Every structure is written in C-alpha cells, then in structure tokens.
Amino acid sequence: MGEAGLSPAEVSKEIAEHHQHAASHDVQSPADRRITIVEALMLAVVAILAAYSGFASAKWSTEESLTLARANTARTEANRAYMEAAEARNFDATAFNAWFTAYLDGNEEGTEIAEKRFSAQLAPAFEAWMETDPFVNPDAPAGPTYMDDYEQPANDLAVELDQSADDLYAEGSTAGRTADDYVRTAVFLATVLFLVGISGHFRVRSARYGLIGVASVMLIWSVILLVTTPFPPS
C-alpha cells in the first residue's frame, strides 16, 4: 500500500522559503529575476502535481484495501461452498452404499427405502448409472456420483467464487502497484522541490541554471509518469 512521499506542507514551506530568499535580495539583475520567476513557477507546478499524486496514491491504496477485502470474502464463501459440496457428496455416497448393501443382500424393500432417500442430485445420476448396466459392464463408473449426470450446485458455486477471488486479488494487487507508482512520482517531485529550493542559495548563475535544468528534466519526467499512470478510481 503506497503512501504519499511529498506532503503539501513541505511544498508550502519550500515556496515560503523561496519567497523570503528572493525578497532578501532587493537588487537583482534581469537574468536573476527571470531565474527567480522560473523557480517560483516550477514550485507552483510541483505543488499542484504533488497534491494530485498524493490524492491518487491514497485513492488507489483505498481501492487496493477494499478489493483485497472482497477477495478474502469471496475466498471464504468459496471454502464454505466446497465444504457444503463435500458434505452433500458424502451424504449421497452413504445413501448409495446403503442401497448397494441392500441390493447385494437381495433386500428389495431395503433398496426401495434407500432410493427414496436419494437426493435430487443423486436420483438422476443413479438412473443414468443403472442404464450403463454396471453389474455386467466393466467400463461402467464405480458409482452414480462419478457420472456426468451427477450435479453439485454447491461445488459449481465454489468454483465460481474461487475464480472471482482470484480475479479480485489480481485487481487489488494491480491497484497496490498503481499506488506505488504514484508514490514513486512523488519522490521525483520531492527531488525537483529540493533542487529548486537550493538553487536560489547559489550566487553563481551557472550553478542555478544547472540545478534548474536538472529539475526541469525531472519535472517533465514526473508529468509523463502521471499522464501514463491510470487515473484514480471514482
């Protein structure tokens, strides 16, 4: 989960210090005044971009938390559905074993009673299994629960929920990486803020030009990163 790397308070402090430093030099050459104006404009742009970057990072971090929470909920529901499916299959297997035991004992009444206890999922599968002539056909399935006709709605639901949990987890991970991307951009902006902030303390004009040049490149790169990074969710 990302956290903003540059706070508005830090930007405001740097702008105030830059203003005070410029005001302390009442007599400036035209070139120095132009540099001061450029520095002020860059600080203003950094302030806006830093605020947006922090906002976007927070939004994506929230999206990550909410999506991962939904993924955990879906996973829990999937596990519950798997357990229900397993219990239903065990019940059907027990009911069929009772029928099979009665059949081997030649107990017709017992087989009839057992068949009445078949679940709605086992009954059609049992009929389809009997049509395979299982007591003669060696290729017949071992029991009705192994037939394609044997349906388990709870198991189907579990598979669906499991897939949903995987998808949500992937979405949450993507949201987290996006939040980190905005934090990375905030780090670049913090570097720009630092370079512009210290440039005003240099008397040598070429040094100020160099610092502003490097800061400009990093500022442009930060803008490119912000434009290419997904916008925060609504």
The DSSP line for 115-161 is HHT--TTHHHHHHHHHTT-TTT-TTS-SSGGGSTT---HHHHHHHHH
Give the integer Cα–Cα distance in Å for 189 and 225.
11
Q: How confident is the model at residue 7 (pLDDT cuts 50, 70, 90)?
A: low
15 pLDDT more than 70: no
Residue corresponding to tokens 């993507």: 174
Output the average pLDDT for the chain: 88
219 pLDDT more than 80: yes
pLDDT of residue 52: 94
Nearest to 2 by CA among 53, 43, 40, 37: 53
pLDDT in tens, 26-62: 545 677 788 888 888 999 999 999 999 999 999 999 9
